[in-house]
């Protein structure tokens, strides 16, 4: 992605705030004009007061100088505030847009992109863009106008000296361009190393129980320290290059200044210029050189910002692979059947499901069993289109799910998994997740049906209790009952239970099983079960092995067949 493309996209983000930007530019023009006047005032101050000893100018110029600085200060502040506000607003919009875009992706996207990497894009990369925008928008544009006005001043005062100075000004830009490429390369590497570091932090903290169980604290610290050292090394490379750039800029500037002092001094001695003119010229030249030095100082930040922009825009360009069709229909309430025909599915090139044919009438409890890796969860995940089928079809009440509006499809499905997903919010917000307008009475009724009200009412703040990250303040059974309450409150006609009790102890499983029975009433239920005792009363059981359905029937029928189901059953209960 070229610089031009990146800058065009950043411009489009700034465009909605163009009127504020215009006011800021007018303020910048006034600041630049007053900077030129400020430099020019050195001439009358020296010539009229100190050489001609004029009391008239002595009584006027000091007050004029104060007024000039006061007006310049006001417009400088206005320019700074408006441009900073625009920059911060653009970054806020970019973060929200990036966050929203990430959540528009299918589950396969999250399988391919580590969590720490995504966090780094939203936090670290966008922060670098923020630094870059602030540096460019707030500083460079204002400084550009200042250089223009100061050039007018120096040409007006002495065109010969002005031409001499212009020989050295372009040479000052050479280090900026030369080192810019290095800063870009290093900036990209810094962001990659930061993303890796972020991922290590995320993995080690979320995996803290495993880290402690295996006494791997020192190992994780060593892994983090190694990555921190990599980030430190590349950061110091950036500083070493900056260490070379800054002195080089100073040397080039000093050579130019020495030449101008020599030539200007000869002009004053020869009587071709007054001391006031010369010192006013030197003042304007120093004021011109200052913004050029600023460019060299922010060059690293700007290049890192451009590199970060490429990473962010590249992620923004990743289109979701599962979206609603342009004219997708709204799904009508489910009443008849789910039909799966000739279904085939692959992860990359690895076949997972082959020639699946299945009909699930409304109101039926269908259990799906089989060895680990057989494709059970994949089959379930295809129904709400967490992944898209490659061959065959899934129809609900005669409608192909690919022709249905995605949200209306998922509104018909409630899911409870073995990996309970809860948020660091109140119990009320966790149960009502997806519909914050539910009343306390409805939330309590759902909690009661999930056998969760008994422990909720014992908590100090009841429904207002904040349960910590992933519900860490609750037991496994309590967390699972909250997720069941959430599914009950959603009141969807299709229910998916993905090994919802497999991670629980016997006592917790019994409590959760009673909650599940309430949840399954009057619903079409697809149950993936590891513990076969939980699905003995299912209306129908299918056995999936190596991605195909190998057996089908009730518990008694499958035991009588003496096939795969009986083998699974015997491994659990007759070994």
Concatenate the DSSP letters of all residues of 178-197 into one string.
HHHHHHHHHHHHHHHHHHHH
Same domain for 212 and 351, yes or no, is no
Buried b (16+ CB within 10 A) or exposed e, 121-154: bbebbbbbbbbbbbbbbbbebbbebbbebbbbbb
Buried b (16+ CB within 10 A) or exposed e, 322-347: bebeeebeebeebeebbbbeebebee
d(CA 243, CA 567): 71
Q: Of 35-39, 135-139, 291-295, which has the strongest mean pLDDT?
A: 35-39
Inside any domain, residue 26: yes
Task: Output the pLDDT for position 134.
Answer: 65
Higher-confidence residue of 285 and 61: namely 61
**Per-residue pLDDT reduced to its tens digit, 219-238:** 888 888 888 888 888 888 87
Average pLDDT, the chain: 81
Inside any domain, residue 548: yes
For residue 84, the enclosing domain spans 3-316
Average pLDDT over residues 451-455: 86
Q: Are 322 and 385 in contact (CB under 8 A)?
A: yes
Average pLDDT over residues 14-26: 87
Inside any domain, residue 430: no
Give the bridge partners for 338, in sequence order.
Answer: 360, 396
Same domain for 311 and 338, yes or no, is no
Count of alpha carbons within 13 Å of 498, Cβ hemisphere only? Answer: 20
CATH number, domain containing residue 535: 3.40.50.300
Give the bridge partners for 351, in sequence order.
Answer: 346
Same domain for 150 and 283, yes or no, is yes
Inside any domain, residue 245: yes
Same domain for 240 and 352, yes or no, is no
Same domain for 195 and 274, yes or no, is yes
Percent of the chain with pLDDT over 90: 11
Task: Output the pLDDT for position 402.
Answer: 92
Tokens describing residue 487: 């599914």
Same domain for 56 and 127, yes or no, is yes
Where residue 360 falls among pLDDT bands split at 50, 70, 90? very high
Same domain for 105 and 176, yes or no, is yes
Where residue 213 falls among pLDDT bands split at 50, 70, 90? low
- The angle, 0 to 180 degrees and rounded to 10, between the axes of the packed helices 476-490 and 440-449 is 120
Same domain for 180 and 295, yes or no, is yes
- Number of structural domains in the chain: 2
Buried b (16+ CB within 10 A) or exposed e, 402-414: bebebeebbbbbb
Number of helices (H), then strands (E), in the chain: 21, 10
Picking from 273, 289, 316, the residue at the C-terminal end of a domain is 316
Same domain for 109 and 164, yes or no, is yes
Coil, strand or helix at 499: coil
Q: For the whole prediction, is pTM greater than 0.75?
A: no
Same domain for 302 and 344, yes or no, is no
Inside any domain, residue 270: yes
Average pLDDT over residues 252-261: 70
């Amino acid at each position: 992605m070229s610089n031009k493309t990146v800058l065009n996209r950043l411009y489009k983000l700034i465009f909605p705030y163009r009127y504020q930007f215009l006011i800021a530019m007018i303020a910048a023009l006034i600041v630049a004009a007053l900077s030129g006047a400020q430099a020019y005032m050195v001439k009358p101050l020296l010539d009229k007061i100190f050489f001609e000893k004029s009391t008239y100018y002595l009584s006027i110029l000091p007050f004029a100088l104060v007024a000039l600085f006061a007006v310049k200060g006001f417009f400088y502040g206005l320019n700074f505030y408006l441009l900073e506000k625009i920059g911060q607003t653009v970054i806020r919009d970019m973060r929200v847009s990036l966050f929203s875009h990430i959540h528009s992706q299918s589950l396969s996207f999250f399988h391919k992109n580590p969590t720490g990497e995504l966090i780094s894009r939203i936090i670290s990369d966008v922060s670098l863009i923020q630094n870059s925008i602030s540096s460019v928008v707030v500083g460079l544009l204002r400084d550009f106008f200042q250089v223009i006005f100061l050039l007018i001043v120096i040409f007006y005062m002495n065109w010969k000296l002005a031409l001499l100075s212009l020989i050295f000004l372009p040479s000052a830009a050479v280090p900026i361009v030369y080192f810019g490429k290095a800063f870009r390369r290093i900036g990209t590497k810094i962001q990659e190393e930061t993303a890796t570091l972020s991922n290590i932090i995320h993995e080690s903290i979320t995996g803290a129980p495993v880290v402690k169980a295996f006494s791997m604290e020192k190992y994780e610290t060593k892994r983090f320290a190694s990555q921190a050292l990599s980030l430190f090394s590349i950061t110091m490379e950036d500083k070493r290059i900056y260490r070379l750039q800054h002195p080089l800029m100073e040397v080039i500037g000093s050579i130019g200044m020495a030449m101008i002092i020599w030539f200007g001094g000869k002009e004053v001695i020869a009587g071709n210029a007054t001391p006031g003119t010369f010192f006013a010229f030197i003042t304007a030249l120093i004021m011109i050189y200052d913004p050029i030095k600023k460019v060299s100082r922010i060059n690293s930040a700007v290049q890192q910002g451009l590199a970060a922009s490429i990473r962010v825009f590249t992620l923004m360009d990743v289109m979701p692979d599962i979206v609603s069709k342009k004219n997708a229909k709204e799904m009508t309430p489910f009443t008849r059947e789910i039909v799966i025909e000739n279904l085939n599915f692959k992860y990359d090139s690895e076949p997972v499901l082959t020639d699946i044919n299945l009909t699930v009438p409304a109101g039926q409890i269908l259990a799906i069993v089989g060895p680990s890796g057989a494709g059970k969860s994949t089959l379930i995940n295809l129904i709400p289109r967490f992944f898209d089928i490659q061959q065959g079809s899934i129809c609900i009440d005669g409608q192909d799910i690919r022709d249905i509006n995605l949200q209306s499809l998922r509104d018909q499905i409630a899911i409870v998994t073995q990996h309970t997903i809860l948020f660091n919010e109140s119990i009320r917000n966790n149960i009502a997740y997806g519909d914050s307008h539910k009343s306390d009475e409805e939330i309590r009724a759902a909690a009661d049906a999930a056998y969760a009200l008994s422990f909720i009412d014992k908590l100090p703040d009841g429904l207002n209790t904040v349960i910590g990250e992933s519900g860490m303040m609750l037991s496994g059974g309590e967390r699972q009952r909250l997720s069941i309450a959430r599914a009950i409150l959603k009141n969807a006609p299709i229910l998916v239970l993905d090994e919802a009790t497999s991670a629980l102890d016997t006592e917790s499983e019994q409590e959760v099983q009673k909650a599940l029975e309430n949840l399954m009433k009057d619903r079409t239920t697809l149950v993936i079960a590891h513990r076969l005792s939980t699905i003995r009363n299912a209306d129908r059981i299918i056995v999936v092995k190596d991605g195909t359905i190998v057996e089908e029937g009730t518990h008694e029928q499958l035991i009588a067949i003496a096939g795969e189901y009986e083998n699974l059953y015997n491994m659990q209960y007759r070994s």
